[in-house]
């Protein structure tokens, strides 16, 4: 069966032959050929898009039916093969690259602020049962770290700190009495007080604020050290 492009080409060719018998046939035939090229080009592009859409549908169908697992298996085999040949420095670079790809600029500012080994004062806000048997956390790592580090989205600092902790770049420590003034500022922060009021109103229980500290973990310091090492490598 002839394709749509072939049928269109034949039709336009017949129109061109009919024009040869009219006055000014040369000009008319030249214009007809120009129109023919435009029509055929548009038709070819449309058919190409249809083929791409069909291919995408076919790929999605294969993935949903379980054939996509083959790609995952191939990736696993590739990683296993690479693990046999890689050197320690290659494994280290892959680890740091993966960590950096999961960090946003605001979080890196917090890492930079703690890179000198300092400890950060922070508070958890919990709701405790009347008998003290269960505890529900409503806010983790309330702090002044965002202000101190100069992050852009200061209201999301608790999320940044929790995320860095999950990545293994921060570690939690006990309360540090040297930060007594900072703890008081955190506990009297308007956002923290508003949250405590809302929680107490909803649960009829008084929230408990637990003081602690955060600092860079060994992995966090190693990651930050890459900044200097890579900078020296680029300079050389």
How much is the pLDDT for 75? 86
What pTM was estimated for this model as a whole? 0.66
Q: Maximum CA pair distance of the chain?
A: 103
Does the pLDDT at position 193 exceed 90?
A: yes
How much is the pLDDT for 236? 44
Does the pLDDT at position 218 exceed 70?
A: yes
List b or e across 149-187, with b for residues whose CB sees 16 or more CB atoms inside 10 angstroms: bebeeeeebbebbebbbebebbeeeeebeebeebbeebe
Out of 3.30.110.190, 3.90.600.10, 3.60.20.30, 3.30.70.20, the CATH code matching 104-235 is 3.30.110.190
Does the pLDDT at position 102 exceed 70?
A: yes
Task: Work out the pLDDT band at 235, boundaries 50, 70, 90.
Answer: very low
How much is the pLDDT for 82? 86
Task: Work out the pLDDT band at 74, boundaries 50, 70, 90.
Answer: confident
Q: How far apart are CA 140 and CA 199, in angstroms?
A: 14
Which pLDDT tens digit goes with each residue over 12-36? 556 555 545 555 556 656 565 665 6
CB atoms within 10 A of CB 214: 22
Q: How far apart are CA 48 and CA 96, in angstroms?
A: 42
- Pairing state of beta strands 135-143 and 120-128? antiparallel
Q: Please, are residues 212 and 123 in contact by the beta-carbon 8 Å criterion?
A: yes
């Amino acid at each position: 069966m002839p394709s749509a492009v072939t049928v269109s080409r034949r039709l336009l060719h017949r129109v061109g032959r009919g024009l040869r018998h009219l006055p000014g046939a040369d000009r008319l035939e030249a214009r007809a050929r120009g129109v023919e090229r435009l029509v055929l080009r548009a038709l070819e592009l449309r058919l190409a898009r249809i083929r791409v859409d069909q291919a995408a549908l076919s790929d999605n169908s294969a993935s949903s039916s379980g054939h996509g697992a083959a790609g995952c298996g191939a990736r696993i085999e590739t990683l296993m093969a690479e693990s046999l040949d890689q050197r320690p420095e290659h494994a280290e670079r892959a680890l740091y690259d993966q960590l950096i790809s999961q960090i946003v600029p605001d979080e890196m500012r917090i890492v930079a602020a703690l890179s000198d080994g300092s400890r950060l004062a922070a508070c958890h806000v919990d709701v405790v049962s009347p008998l003290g048997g269960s505890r529900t956390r409503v806010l983790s790592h309330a702090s002044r770290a965002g202000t101190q580090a100069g992050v852009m989205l200061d209201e999301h600092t608790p999320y940044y700190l929790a995320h860095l902790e999950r990545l293994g770049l921060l570690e939690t420590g006990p309360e540090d009495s040297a930060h007594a003034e900072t703890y008081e500022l955190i506990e009297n922060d308007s956002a923290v007080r508003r949250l405590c009021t809302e929680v107490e109103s909803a649960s009829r229980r008084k929230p408990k604020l637990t003081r602690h500290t955060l600092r860079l973990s060994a992995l966090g310091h190693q990651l930050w050290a890459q900044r200097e090492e890579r900078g020296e490598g680029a300079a050389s």
